[in-house]
Structure 1
Amino acid sequence: MSLTETLQNELLALARQSIEHGLQTGRPLPAKLDDYPEELRQTRATFVTLERNGQLRGCIGMLEALRPLAEDVAENAFAAAFRDPRFPPLAAGELADLDVHISVLSPAAAMTFASEADLLAQLRPGVDGIILQEGHRRGTFLPSVWEDLPHPKQFLQHLKQKVGFPASYWSDTIQAYRYTTEMFG
């Protein structure tokens, strides 16, 4: 599903409104779904990434589509601003300098590979978002992370560390899933 520029701008405005609402009330903006076109009521998974002066300020999202797109954006924008454990809650003075980016995820597809080298050979830099999972540990990098980690081996090593493993870790029980995103903002 590709969103028109008008729909993208509507979601970006919603994300910012939810953050502003959060500053005033401590809660995300309730998305009144009847106020949105059908495309924004479809069940989709999103990530909302906040940057301030070119630096990450928060990023929260869902890997599985569980709520309508507009609701997911409102909830994730609030969570990125106030619940990302890597950052203190957003202060009102930061709002003017805040850049909001939204990534709408495709459904994730399981990858089949025989080794780490096989997995690395299948990665599509700049295209794939990857979910890495083993046991109860799971983490993801959005496709936009390729901008900072452009080499597949480096990308995978950092993702393993995010999941909680050493960069050199490998196991025959690791699972990987790929997805793409439509990113705007």
Structure 2
Amino acid sequence: MDLKVLLDIARKSIFTYFDNSLILNKQFYLSNYDELNEQRATFVTLTLNGRLRGCIGSLNAHTFLYEDVFINARKAAFNDPRFEPLKFKDFTNIKIEVSVLTPPKKLDYIDRYDLKEKLIPNKHGVILKYNSNQATYLPQVWEQLTGFDEFIDSLCIKAGVSSSCLNDNAQIYVYEALKIKE
């Protein structure tokens, strides 16, 4: 798969929000890149001056790759509740990263120590589900949160639960990501 086309779709998706007189030629992309017709889940991450500026994605494939990238790019730019909508003056300075996810697989574990042995840093993205709470970290988050304990504790905080949930049947799913960034 030519991953650069995903960056092109993401950037143009955001740009056409600012200038709606321009329209992406969806048929061109779909007829020239067969992979864009596959159902895949993606995340689009935006950074500005090296800092997170938006990150939105899908954990499960529910639409075609083209659509998922297009929609998630716009959501990352304009609908991430952690940030104000992207301003046009910042558009040229953002860096875009697109991650194409494998389907999540449930990871059975006995306790925190067993989980530590089974998770592979920088390879596994992790979804934590506990009661009605859920959070995920992409595999690249391992680069920022060094070590298993910091990664898992931060993921629990993100989900709004105590890290003791791992002793109480919290569900863990793992996935991998094929990523490209500008």
TM-score by length of structure 1 reads: 0.90
Query: Does structure 2 conserve the Cα–Cα contact (< 8 Å) formed by 1:83 and 1:89?
Result: yes
Give yes or no for the alignment of 1:142 onto 2:138: yes
Query: Aligned match of 2:97 in 101, 105, 121?
Result: 101
Give yes or no for the alignment of 1:183 onto 2:169: no
User: 2:113 is matched by which residue type in structure 1?
Assistant: A
User: 2:52 is matched by which residue type in structure 1?
Assistant: L
Secondary structure class of the residue paired with 1:73: helix
Equivalent in the alignment of 2:59: 63
Give yes or no for the alignment of 1:164 onto 2:164: no
User: 1:144 is matched by which residue type in structure 2?
Assistant: Q
User: 2:107 is matched by which residue type in structure 1?
Assistant: M
Secondary structure class of the residue paired with 2:38: coil
Secondary structure class of the residue paired with 2:173: strand
Shift of residue 36 of structure 1? Answer: 4.2
Equivalent in the alignment of 1:78: 74
Give unpaired runs (5+ residues) of structure 2: none
RMSD of aligned Cα (Å): 1.7
TM-score by length of structure 2 reads: 0.92
Secondary structure class of the residue paired with 1:139: strand
Equivalent in the alignment of 2:4: 9
Q: Distance in 2 between matches of 1:44 and 1:88?
A: 28
Aligned residues: 178
User: 1:55 is matched by which residue type in structure 2?
Assistant: R
Equivalent in the alignment of 1:119: 115
Shift of residue 42 of structure 1? Answer: 0.4
Secondary structure class of the residue paired with 1:153: helix
Q: Distance in 2 between matches of 1:61 and 1:122?
A: 25
Shift of residue 22 of structure 1? Answer: 1.5
Shift of residue 168 of structure 1? Answer: 4.8
Query: Aligned match of 2:49 in 20, 39, 53?
Result: 53
Give unpaired runs (5+ residues) of structure 1: none
- 1:25-44 paired onto structure 2 within 5 Å: 25=20, 31-32=26-27, 34-44=30-40
Q: Distance in 2 between matches of 1:15 and 1:41?
A: 16
Query: Aligned match of 1:87 in 83, 87, 90?
Result: 83
User: 1:90 is matched by which residue type in structure 2?
Assistant: L
Shift of residue 167 of structure 1? Answer: 4.3
